[in-house]
Amino acid sequence: MDQLSTEFTEDEAAFVEWHSGMPSNRVYLLTEAGGEHGQYVPEAMVDSGRLLEIGAGSTAAVTEIYRGMINNSQSRAPQADIVASVVRSGNTVTFNTTVTNNSLVTLSTANNAAVHGIVYEDYRASKSNFAGRGSARTVITSLAPGATADFTITVNLTGVVNPDNLNYIVVVDYRALPIPSVGLNVDAGIYEQLNAIRVDLPFAVSPGSIDLTVKTADETMPTAQVDIGGIAGQTWTASVDQDFVLLSQTSGNVPGSFDVTVDKSKLTVGVQGALITVNDGAGLYESTVPVTVTFALSKFEVIPGSLTFNFGPGDPTPSAAVLPRGDAGQTWIATPDKDWVILSATTGNIGKSFMVTVNPAKLSPGYQEAIITVSDGGGYQSKQVKVKVTYNAAAAEYFLFLPITVKP
């Protein structure tokens, strides 16, 4: 298919590969043909299954078979007029179509007539550069020759990598048993395709979603760009439903773009979501861009987790260093819960230690404890350092006098 896609223009042929499962509205075009159709892969079909080929491979002979099927399709005149527009909102695509039946057949539920919307992406998922992303149909209940009617088709998309590379197709077909022989060495199906057209997005917004990750120590916030395409002369407006998401612009001309970032001060630790809505200036089209922001704790730890001092009057007053460490860009605040704990500094930058000592004058004889709480500067997390002191004051400050009587 890759070779053939270079031989035919996009207006002449659309190539779609269903790698991870064909939609139901495409499967029946194969299975109703009977035999082994729809049971084995690979299988190729042209014109809604009017022409079928099972067991294709990457050989010159198979390429020639495919070429003959496409040329046969190109030689046939369309038997329906299709006018369509398409709107994509996230992973949902809506086709609004107007169909005029120029055939001699009344299209109806009796011959399973339908209007199909097909979406594929220019992406190599398996054997070709054209990955099917979704398809659905709307049944034609009754459309007589020469009659015109409107139809809406909603297609749910899966597996989209880049929405900018999506293609949109509208097809009209019906069951037309038997299909006349076309003189090719391929099988004939039982459905006739009256016409197929490409549809361009008149107002396109991409990407379809935005994921941003922020850490508590980050000073520079991540950004993402939203691009807006369409018809020259259009305008756009944008809004967002959460105040932690910031837009660099909220209106402009088509084509255009704006940047998306976050206000860190309004985030909570964890995952939070917002929805950006972009409308065209005429109010005809609306696209939404879901935004997911993950706000994660930066690495922050304090070593050691405890200090032990054991001394008495006349001994040098002990001291020890405490080191707050972790991801760069953070600051720390240290607070003791006892007034006999002395800190060389109560604030500083991550990676810079402070000294801890005690005031002997405020100690009681024996064992006592204190807690130093060290928090990151943003108040997102804190660690504790336990200070354990044994002050051996009793032996030096308390004396017992016993009378001694000496007899000659």
The CATH number assigned to the domain holding 274 equals 2.60.40.10
Task: Give the Å distances, CA to CA, from 246 to 51, 242, 269.
Answer: 53, 9, 18
306 and 278 inside one domain: no
**Residue 385, Cβ neighbours under 10 Å: how many?**
22
Looking at every residue in the chain, the average pLDDT score rounds to: 89
- Residue 8 forms part of a structural domain: yes
The three-point CA angle 375-318-359 to 5° equals: 75
Task: Give the Å distances, CA to CA, from 152 to 115, 117, 138, 169, 203.
Answer: 9, 9, 7, 13, 18
Does a cis peptide bond (omega within 30 degrees of 0) precede residue 178?
A: yes
Q: What is the Cα–Cα distance from 34 to 50, expressed in whole angstroms? A: 13
Summarised one tens digit per residue, pLDDT across range 375-388 is 999 899 999 999 99
The per-residue pLDDT for 395 is 45
- Residue 132 forms part of a structural domain: yes
Residues 6+ apart with CB under 8 A from 298: 215, 216, 217, 218, 326, 327, 329, 330, 376, 380
Does 364 score more than 90 pLDDT? yes
22 and 108 inside one domain: yes
Summarised one tens digit per residue, pLDDT across range 44-103 is 888 888 888 876 556 777 788 888 888 888 889 999 999 998 888 778 999 999 999 999
Does 283 score more than 70 pLDDT? yes
Instruction: Write the burial class of residue 176 (CB in 10 Å: 0-12 exposed, 13-18 middle, 19+ buried).
Output: buried
Task: Please name which of 18, 37, 219 lies closest in space to residue 125, comparing C-alpha atoms.
Answer: 18
Boundary-marking domain end, from 296, 319, 346: 296
Identify the DSSP state of 10.
T
284 and 342 inside one domain: no
Q: How confident is the model at residue 184 (pLDDT cuts 50, 70, 90)?
A: confident
Lowest mean pLDDT among 42-46, 231-235, 345-349: 42-46
Average pLDDT, integer, range 96-122: 96
Q: What is the Cα–Cα distance from 167 to 314, expressed in whole angstroms? A: 86
Beta partners for residue 270, in sequence order: 295
94 and 225 inside one domain: no
- Residue 400 forms part of a structural domain: no
- Cβ atoms of 128 and 180 within 8 Å: the answer is no
- Residue 407 forms part of a structural domain: no
127 and 257 inside one domain: no
Average pLDDT, integer, range 332-338: 97
- Cβ atoms of 383 and 374 within 8 Å: the answer is yes
**Residue 399, Cβ neighbours under 10 Å: how many?**
6
Q: Bigger pLDDT: 276 or 286?
A: 276
Summarised one tens digit per residue, pLDDT across range 188-203 is 889 999 999 999 888 8
145 and 104 inside one domain: yes
- Residue 136 forms part of a structural domain: yes
Phi, psi dihedral angles at 37 (to 5 degrees): -65, 135
Task: Please name which of 352, 305, 304 lies closest in space to residue 330, comparing C-alpha atoms.
Answer: 352
- Residue 170 forms part of a structural domain: yes
Boundary-marking domain end, from 268, 296, 324: 296
Number of domain units in the chain: 3
Q: What is the Cα–Cα distance from 268 to 265, expressed in whole angstroms? A: 8
**38: phi > 0 → left, psi -120 to 50 → alpha, else beta; which?**
left
Average pLDDT, integer, range 233-249: 96
Boundary-marking domain end, from 184, 201, 218: 201
165 and 39 inside one domain: yes
The per-residue pLDDT for 405 is 59
The per-residue pLDDT for 8 is 76
The per-residue pLDDT for 17 is 84
9 and 117 inside one domain: yes
161 and 43 inside one domain: yes
Determine what percent of the chain is predicted with pLDDT higher than 70: 92
Phi, psi dihedral angles at 319 (to 5 degrees): -150, 160
**351: phi > 0 → left, psi -120 to 50 → alpha, else beta; which?**
left
Determine what percent of the chain is predicted with pLDDT higher than 90: 62
62 and 175 inside one domain: yes
Phi, psi dihedral angles at 102 (to 5 degrees): -100, 5
- Residue 225 forms part of a structural domain: yes
The per-residue pLDDT for 202 is 80
Q: Bigger pLDDT: 67 or 34?
A: 67
- Residue 166 forms part of a structural domain: yes
Q: What is the Cα–Cα distance from 349 to 356, expressed in whole angstroms? A: 17
The per-residue pLDDT for 99 is 97
82 and 120 inside one domain: yes
Q: How confident is the model at residue 399 (pLDDT cuts 50, 70, 90)?
A: very low
195 and 239 inside one domain: no
Summarised one tens digit per residue, pLDDT across range 51-63 is 888 765 567 777 8
Q: What is the domain range of residue 265?
A: 204-296
Q: Bigger pLDDT: 25 or 402?
A: 25
